[in-house]
Amino acid sequence: MTVSDDSDPTAPELESESELAFEGALRPRSLAEFVGQAKVRGQLQLLLTAAKMQDRTADHILLAGPPGLGKTTLAMIVAHESGRPLRLSSGPAIQHAGDLAALLSSLTPGEVLFIDEIHRMARSAEEMLYLAMEDFRIDIMVGKGAGATSIPLDLAPFTLVGATTRSGLLPNPLRDRFGFTAHLEFYDEAELTQVLQRAAVMLDFDIDRAALAEIAGRCRGTPRIANRLLRRVRDFALVRGGAADIEAVRGALELYDVDPLGLDRLDRAVLHAILERFGGGPVGLNTLAVSVGEEAETIESVVEPFLVRIGLLSRTPRGRVATPSAWRHFGIDHPQQVGSQQPSLMDDL
Ligand code: ADP
């Protein structure tokens, strides 16, 4: 997870302290308050109710999807709805099997353990987790070389909630041990308007409905970004002294470089590179990442899902290709020979 500055409200994983406090305050506390994702909500409700009726811990849950769609929020709701305490950790914090052993052995019976970015956990810890998820048991290795022995340790039963932006990177044995996998989708404008309405009420911010709809159409289908843009619009209206209307939204979003489709700087940099440097593609992920100075993982898990979803980019076996809509959006003429450029040798596709 990247920690960046406070200046880009569309950065999907911006984590300054004030942003974290702001997000915490707006997080829905129950499934009923959680907007959208109707199918996932129904499935989770059933799973939690069945566990409650049988007085057991709920099955392990994997939440997959781009940043800001509500994975952490759902993990908190799972704990809250099942009346269990919640422990928060993340893949990058688990760099050795020992880190995981310490975490698992300190859980109280029934606790919900949330591991964010679970695909970034150390391999050795992953293997320990298989056994822990299945049998609530781990083997702790003591000593080294020929004299090494393993001591079995029983764990309190727990529910693991794993979150990942890259479910494809999880090894199959780990993926198979989750009783339920939810794939979170981008939100539509009506749902985002509802998220924004709820946030405006909680922030005691008087903003008109057309203004909320305008933000909803320009937040990359992502509640986290919707809430952040709302805050920027509130600042804008406060400082300029005008009403919080559609004009204020347009002014604030122009100031923060959010375009009419909600594309942010990195989205635009990626599309510009494909269109202007690679003749529209196909271009491989790694070449693209180098040309915009960003990590391939960020391009793949943060930028691309939304561009694919709104039809500006397609992923083909030969690489990434800008669609005709992308050419139109940027007002660049489509060259005669799109696709004449070959992917370079460093490309992985
Ligand atoms: P993720 O863990 O997927 O990156 P979070 O759960 O941290 O995303 O969500 C980011 C913010 O977006 C939360 O603080 C919450 O305010 C808001 N949010 C996410 N999903 C919803 C939803 N379905 N309804 C209302 N608000 C939401």
**Tens digits of per-residue pLDDT, 119-147?**
999 998 999 999 999 999 999 888 888 88
The pair of structure tokens assigned to 341 is 């450029």
Return the exposure string of 268-304: e unless at least 16 CB atoms fall within 10 Å of the residue's CB, then b.
Answer: bbbbbbbbeebbbbbbbbbbbbebbebeeebbbbbbb
Which CATH class name applies to 187-255?
Answer: mainly alpha
CB 195 less than 6 A from any atom of ligand 1: yes
pLDDT of residue 330: 86
The pick from 35, 39, 69, 80 for probing ligand 1's pocket by mutation, whose C-beta has the most ligand atoms within 8 angstroms, reads 69
Domains of the chain by residue range = 19-183, 187-255, 265-329
Q: Which atom of ligand 1 is nearest to the CA of 37?
A: 23
Q: Which atom of ligand 1 is nearest to the CA of 76?
A: 6
**256 labelled ligand-binding:** no
CB 162 less than 6 A from any atom of ligand 1: no
What is the residue-averaged pLDDT of the chain? 89
Number of helices (H), then strands (E), in the chain: 15, 9
CB 133 less than 6 A from any atom of ligand 1: no
For 265-329, CATH number out of 1.10.10.10, 3.60.15.10, 3.20.20.120, 3.40.30.10 equals: 1.10.10.10
DSSP state of 343: P
Interval 187-232: pLDDT, tens: 999 999 999 999 999 988 899 999 999 999 999 999 999 999 999 9
Instruction: Write down the CATH number for the domain with range 19-183.
Output: 3.40.50.300
Catalytic residues: 71-72, 116, 165, 224
**217 labelled ligand-binding:** no
- 269 alpha carbon – ligand 1 mean position (Å): 26
Q: Which atom of ligand 1 is nearest to the CA of 69?
A: 3
First to last CA, the chain: 25
Q: Is 279 helix (H, G, I), strand (E, B) or coil?
A: coil
Half-sphere exposure for 92 (CA within 13 Å, toward CB): 3
Is the pLDDT score of 347 beyond 50?
Answer: no
Interval 37-69: pLDDT, tens: 999 999 999 999 999 999 999 999 999 999 999
The pair of structure tokens assigned to 315 is 């992923």
pTM here is 0.87
